[in-house]
Structure 1
Amino acid sequence: MKKTNEYQKSYLTVTPNSGHRIGHKLDDLITGFILAEWYGLNYLHSPLPDKMWEDFFGFGEGETSFYKDFRKDLPIISCTPYLGVRYISPRFRFLFKHIEYLDYRIRYILKKIPVKKISEWREPDFWEGSPFSYFKEIFERNSEREVIFCFQRGKRVMLYQIYEWGQQGKVDSDLYLRVIEKLRTKYFSQEHPKKFSYFDTSVISVAVHIRRDDASVENQRFLPISYYKKLLSNLSKILADKPHEFHVYSSGLDREMEEIQKELNPVSSQLRYHPNESAMEAIHHMAIADILVVGNSSFSHWPGFLSSGIKLYHPHFHMFNLDENEWVEVKEDSSFNESHFISLLSSSQKGIDFSDTHAKLQAQ
């Protein structure tokens, strides 16, 4: 890996993918934080389309923004899924604004072509993050140039990747934590009217996200209610002699919300429901909960990364092999390493004594 000081004169920005939900756009922005930190580049902020979300997450504060005429003397290295890596000289800077649209059109056309080999041509698996070799080649090839690197249309690197690469010695082992700390500092340093708490601080708060609305088995965003019933039942047993509350967050049709309540009510008397709650309020409360049960959705992935609490997650998409100091893997049958979970909760800010519970588990 090149030394970071070789790149210090160059810049990097990532354009949030248009036409997608806030979770996808956050995946893009965090790519900018990661790559700038990884290679010691000057970060240029490309804002989210909706300033409301910019203000909520604290993005752009104290950062230089990227705009079409920024450093017109520098070439742009444009990286997209279908057009690939393109060198745009200052003379042809005007072409840059068309890159995203052209890449979108190519993808649209390829998906319409029925011939199997053609439809699979350059079909990149970029949503879950590009491989280490992809970034290594791009940056090392341009290490002697002063340029602006720009990643667009969902070309990204994910947090799970840099955590894994750090474990493997491919990147600095603390890169993941540096990026996470930057993300958390931005979020919690920014005041916002939606950042308040209705949690009872005298009890353990457990936030639970259940994705419904567009979730389906086909798109792999659906977790059956049976998964949540068993998981909450397991948590109820562990927390039985500790004051606690479950806060359930979900959005969808009224009948879907009613079905969730009907199924979960027998599990615990400590359930609090927040159907179709304001997105910002839900995200913030998931981020500040002592425990977060993550759904198959970026809507709760991101509160999980913002949170310093304990997160329980079912591996899927780009959510696997996460930092075991904060994340607990839950299997399909809703089981998880209860001893590990208890040890994390005992050492958390609440500092709760679970010695009796731990002894019972050891005896089983």
Structure 2
Amino acid sequence: MITLKKLKYRIWGSIVGTYRNKKIYPLLYRSYWHYLFHKNNHKDLSSCYYTARPNPGAGIGHQIANWIAGLWFSKKFNLKFAHIPFATPQWEEFLGFGLGEKTIEELKQQAYITRKLPLFNESDAAEVELNKKIIQSYAGRKVIFIAEQDQFYRLQYGVIDELKQKFYNAPARKKDHLIYSPTNFNIAIHVRRGDIMNDPNNPNLVMRYLSNDYFEKVLKQVLANLQIKKHIHIYFFSQGKPEDYPEFAQYSNLHWCFNMNAQDSFLHLVYADLLITSKSSFSYKPALLNNGIKICPKNFWHGYPNNKKWILCDNNGNFDISSLKQAFSDL
């Protein structure tokens, strides 16, 4: 059902999409007009906050990317961070990212106003500088700056320590239930299929596709070089049925996790000893929280830390075996 609020978001999104690359684009924003007519000599931004709204129409991986962008750019603009809850209370509680953070609603009760900022390319110095000037024009006032919807932050891992601290200390962790045994070495594979297979002609989805052979090749190389004395168990997270993945029939101790709900799947990706990810935000975000070894597709729209526990594959499933051996030796 399309509500008035959703319709408003769609219309505004269409307007932003139409004018984003035109010179008049900043004129759409009240905050820009304020900057034009208010040359502020104040330097103190201590009363100001920055935030980004998790897109309510997107999947949880996308929403987390929005939230991370808000936290990251609050630091870059020397502002305090304000929390906007995730679209569903279940994910809000599960992630625990808002704990200890001021929310927009709490700040509004303290006479704060909100102002939206224009989209900017983080690699475009002029666009970043314009946002800084707009923010500076409000110095000394009680303002919450809201990033335009889906403001992009590519690397994502810049706040990885904060994410882990929040997630692992969230009260929801007391309710977690894992099917993993701590006496085993648990490998999780996330294979993105559902939306891709439902619309195979969509180029935006095709670019996210990795074949069954890709995942099987990665797994085979992992098992051939696994330097661990524990029993190995493999957990396969995807949609469909075992017959859709005949390449994996040869593996013992393989557990199909087709019917696990999204939060439990996310949780198990986080706690895997070794995680093989897809070109998907749904496995990239757990990888940010995961303390084990991560094997990920190199060609992806977010970046990866330069860390021994992060191993990158080409689209054919090839990766540096010596890096994997080094990661195992450090366990």
Taking structure 2 as the reference length, the TM-score comes to 0.76
Q: CA deviation at 1:143?
A: 2.6
| Correspondence for 1:247 among 235, 240, 244 | 235
Go from structure 1 to structure 2 and tell me whether the alpha carbon gap of 1:194 and 1:208 turns closer, same or farther (over 3 Å shift): farther
Q: How do residues 94-109 of structure 1 correspond to structure 2 at under 5 angstroms? A: none
Q: CA deviation at 1:278?
A: 1.1
Distance 2:284 2:194 in 1: 17
1:196 aligns with 2:177: yes
Q: Which amino acid aligns with 1:49?
A: A
1:265 aligns with 2:249: yes
CA contact (8 A) 1:130 1:155 kept: no
| CA RMSD between the two structures | 2.5
| Correspondence for 1:213 among 184, 194, 209 | 194
Distance 1:259 1:47 in 2: 37
Any unmatched runs of 5+ in structure 1? 82-125, 164-175, 349-364
Distance 1:292 1:234 in 2: 14
Distance 1:64 1:48 in 2: 14
Which piece of structure 1 moves more, 135-144 or 27-36? 135-144
Go from structure 1 to structure 2 and tell me whether the alpha carbon gap of 1:67 and 1:156 turns closer, same or farther (over 3 Å shift): farther
Q: CA deviation at 1:311?
A: 0.8
Distance 2:107 2:303 in 1: 40
Q: CA deviation at 1:73?
A: 6.0
Q: How do residues 121-160 of structure 1 correspond to structure 2 at under 5 angstroms? A: 130-131=122-123, 133=125, 134-143=127-136, 145=139, 146=141, 147-160=143-156
Residue aligned with 1:334, SS: coil
Distance 1:296 1:194 in 2: 29
| Correspondence for 1:319 among 298, 302, 309 | 302
Go from structure 1 to structure 2 and tell me whether the alpha carbon gap of 1:233 and 1:72 turns closer, same or farther (over 3 Å shift): same
Q: CA deviation at 1:198?
A: 1.8
Distance 1:241 1:32 in 2: 40
| Correspondence for 2:78 among 16, 25, 40 | 40
Distance 1:136 1:310 in 2: 38
Go from structure 1 to structure 2 and tell me whether the alpha carbon gap of 1:190 and 1:73 turns closer, same or farther (over 3 Å shift): closer
Q: Which amino acid aligns with 1:7?
A: L
1:63 aligns with 2:43: no
| Correspondence for 2:165 among 163, 185, 200 | 185
Go from structure 1 to structure 2 and tell me whether the alpha carbon gap of 1:62 and 1:322 turns closer, same or farther (over 3 Å shift): closer
Residue aligned with 1:31, SS: helix
Quote the residue 2:14 is aligned against. Answer: none
Distance 2:263 2:225 in 1: 30
